[in-house]
Amino acid sequence: MKETNYRRAEASIDLDAIRYNIKTVQALNPADRKTLLVIKADAYGHGAVVLAKEMDDLADYYAVATIPEAVELREAGIVKPILILGYTDEAEYDEAIDHDITTTAYDYERAKILSDKALAKGKKAKVHIKVDSGMSRIGFQCDEEGINEAEKITKLEGLDVEGIFTHYAKADYEDKTDALTQYDKFSWFVKSLEERGITFKLRHIDNSAGAMEIHSDGFDMMRLGIVIYGLYPSEEIDKKVVIKPAMSLKANVIHVKELPAGRGIGYGWTYITENDTKIATVSIGYADGYPRALSGNGRVLIHGQFAPIVGRVCMDQIMVDVSAIEGDVNVGDEVVLFGTQGDNNISIEEVAEPANSFNYETACRISRRVKRVYYKDGKEFYV
């Protein structure tokens, strides 16, 4: 299919902002602490391959959620270590070994199968042991039984047990009591293994919130996820650490019409014009990841001015009232769904809240048919 220059909807990605965010958080932590960039879910919708290539000089490690995500990076030429943060099925072990992908180990029997497969290939499979210090998701429990099982994994001949890690559940809360309890549990687990003569090259606990506010002592690496995209992990994070949102969402005016009073707009006529009204139709909808919950409950920017959404958000289009917009609104005019235009801004959090969502989810939901356009040094860099 022939490519065109037309961009029905665009997610603009500011690579300079991402670089700034990474370096900002790195500066808060010890200089020798390694940086793992979490680029799962296509880098939270920002584009994993492009981000890995452009930020490779700032990364020591990458993390994704699935083997296909990791293989995509390998096939794109990414050679630095890649960790699968969650579950890897036995059917994927061969791919993990063949592509030198690090998996997460939290079950001895499954680790034994991985070890045997690696030995059959004349290789060692890299793993990081996962400890459940309070997330209650995956990982060995912080008790003697968990330590014994983890020790058994370290003795498997086909494994290179490179690291050990856990994940904070409440590092993004103002009250850090529970996070520090997790820190103590994980520290005890690691120390207990070290007392048995088992050491790890990489021990890691800090996620974005941890790297911003806890700076956990005694560990080797931090995992930076949502923060690198310029989004705060929660509203309770201290905003003194300034980060820059990397993504803005844009579309176009595709039709402008004058409607009389009493006209219904959109499915179900949930909005009826009260006066003569100028309506602009915009080229984006819920199939693009724009929340349907913003039906009659959101706003956009046109000519740097706010315009309310009227009627229901459709699959591919929305309608906005541009009657109060100064200047002519024409087909082809840029519409900002979140981001900055002129002197005004719509945050991704503003878009997420009416949908009972949050910034992570909203970024991840921007669909494939929204073209990602990358900017570097203030100029369009890559589409």
Would you name the residues annotated as active-site residues?
A: 40, 267
Give the residue among 212, 206, 208, 215 at the shortest CA–CA distance from 240: 212
Q: What are phi and psi of 22, to 5 degrees?
A: -60, -50
In this structure, how many other beta carbons lie within 10 angstroms of the beta carbon of residue 15?
Answer: 20
